[in-house]
Structure 1
Amino acid sequence: MDKRNQSTITEFLLVGFGDLQNAKILVFTLFLIVHIMALTANVLVIVLVGVTRSLHSPMYFFLSQLSLSELLFTSNIVPNMLWLILVGGGRVSVARCIAQFYLLGVPTIAQCLLLAAMSFDRYAAICRPLHYATIMTFTHQLQMVGSCWILGLMLTLFIYIFLNKLKFCDLNTINHFYCDIAPLVRLSCSGTTAVELVTAVVSFPVLLTPFIFIIVTYVSIIQTILKIPSSTGRHKAFSTCSSHLIIVCMYYGTLTSIYIFPPRDNSIDLNKGLSVLYTLVTPLFNPLIYSLRNQKIRAAILKYV
């Protein structure tokens, strides 16, 4: 335990992107535009799935929940990030910082599980088409989605409880634009073994298990597709899965780069860049990928334009 004869601190200094000087307004404007586009695109997906009868199917229901997780995630981080850009950094209370981590963790875990649920839906549709209607009932869909969100809430809560017990009494500078668990643990002047153990026990299964499940289901899906005699049928089957696979690769690629194999401390700018991609760009690309590649969603958009 690192003992410091300092008074307990009650707030952190978020460095953000530092002093951007003349580029501050340009960066703020660019990030604001991307954020507004991401919010609009995800809200549009949720609304379209809710009001369009042709989109009342499991795949689009899961997609709407994915957009909801993106909304919660980006709304928790980006507004404060924009403020930090304008003022060149800012202070945040310890309690609010830990709360931001909790609100970051819930949609992150839920999204990992939702991507796995979507892969199961594609598996059932392609590998078990005759039983699809009985497998993917609306009750089953609700149970799957509810489990994703409940696990997100409960598992993040375990980490939050232990994180909330940490003491901070010396260093209070976080060289980032949001509160994540790694800098909080690094700044603590009390024992961190418990919170690190709980984080490892929660994080690795939550990140790896859905990913392994997705790989296994897609191995079965690809084997089934290759057995389809018609090239048109194979193309149609592949097209229903390609958007999901692109999102899985983007999401897990950035998530792995930030949390599983993070850049070293001397590459903090790279870490911030990856975090911008994860928190700002990915929430925009996800609905766009589905919208641009999906005929039913394009038709629904044109219907209400």
Structure 2
Amino acid sequence: MSQNVTYDDRDPILDYSGDWFRTGTWNATSVDETGTLASSSVTSGVNVTFVFPTPATAFYYFGIPRCCGGEYLICIDCDPNNPQYITIDGVNTSDNGQNPPIVLFSKTFDVPGVHEVILANEPDLRFGGNSQITLDKFELTVPDADAVTTTTATPLSSSAPLSTGATLPVAGSSSSSSSPLAPILGGVLGGLVLLLIILGIWFLLRRRSRRPAYNAEQAPDHQEQHLWQNTSRFTVSTNPATMFSTTTSAPSRRELDAGRIDDYSSPDDTLPPEYGQVFSPADSAPPLPGPSSNEMPRALSKSRR
């Protein structure tokens, strides 16, 4: 499928050069139609350049034939070193000025593409060099976007008349298309990052919930409990086979107060003598028996030893 797109003579996409009359109109009473018209009777340096704004498969130039001279030159994708011009005969000797514009030139292309067209006025030697060029519109046949396979041709600067240039990038070509792969990859990576964050938070919460609760009765003093867990003693064995090996003994136990001890003795139990019974006055104490005369030498000898 395709459609025709019109670019009027007053469309800003057209690049005029030379002396043009661009406010003219035409009135075809025979078909009851009117429209705008650009024209020029100058035969030197008068041209218009049209670069396709979209790929097209066909090109049409509409103008009104003149009665008394009309010879034009057209060039499509001209090589500036070897331009190939095509002559257009724009003469209709029976023209009375009331006829509508017609197709004066057309060209089709094998594949859709962007091209440059240069249309210029040329002296018509059949009428003494007189020639009047007219332009009503350019028309392109544009295929649907789904069926476009384009070729490109880009013009040179419009300041050089009847010249062509290098290629331009074409809208809708494969080089300008963007792949949807990047947004898909971005979404997948974002989902993976979010999943890893959720798993990390779940792991930390689960690990924290498994820690044993602190019991104040079992460890009244945090510092002492720490010392109890980390203090060790080294013992040296007196056995010759193992005297140079060290073993770690069990940590010392903390001594605790057992509390008050109740007196369960009965009144009849024997008690130690009172102070007065041991240390009584000298006058009331009975005389202590002394050693006998036979035991004195033996006692002295023991003391000397």
- Shorter-chain TM-score: what band? under 0.3
Select the structure that is richer in helix.
1
TM-score by length of 1: 0.18
Structure with the larger strand share: 2
- Bigger radius of gyration among the two: 2
Q: TM-score, normalised by structure 2?
A: 0.18
Q: RCO greater where, 1 or 2, for CA within 8 Å and sep 6 or more?
A: 1
